[in-house]
Amino acid sequence: MFQTSILVRFGDLDAAGIAYYPNLVNFLHEAFEDFFVGHVGRPYPEAFKEGLGCPTVKVEMEFLSPVRYGDHVDIDVIVERVGRTSVQIRYEGAVGGRPVFKARNTMVVVDMASFRPTPVPVWLRERLEAAMEPAGGR
């Protein structure tokens, strides 16, 4: 498991003064990028420039409580499954301990030159597996 924190900006808000939910979906990608820097040990932009892409093929997200301007959303990043060419990650967001969202995102690893699925590279697989919960976890 890895944790990061993302600040809610003015541009994330909607007319109700809370975070607009597609912008919270964007937070998942930002948490994924932070996970690369903080856990994988390599910025995702660098891997992306070398041809590694991770398009999302499925996302499920529940919004449990409103997220407001200036909130710091603490996001747990938990790898649930590493397949041959796909990765499933769970994200749990909280503000000051209050759960605000939980999400599950499935990505396919692609070679950006062809945009076709490619096996998860070994260096990435190892780090992804290290972020999986131990058997018997919640």
User: Which positions touch a second copy (CB under 8 A)?
Assistant: 9-11, 13-18, 20-23, 25-26, 29-30, 33, 43-46, 48-49, 53, 55-63, 66, 68-70, 112, 115
- Give 121's DSSP letter: P
End-to-end Cα spacing for the chain: 12
Closest distance between a second copy and the C-beta of residue 82, in Å? 20
Closest distance between a second copy and the C-beta of residue 68, in Å? 8
Minimum CB distance to a second copy smaller for 43 or for 129: 43
- DSSP annotation string for 49-97: HTTEE--EEEEEEEE-S--BTT-EEEEEEEEEEE-SSEEEEEEEEEETT
Minimum CB distance to a second copy smaller for 67 or for 82: 67
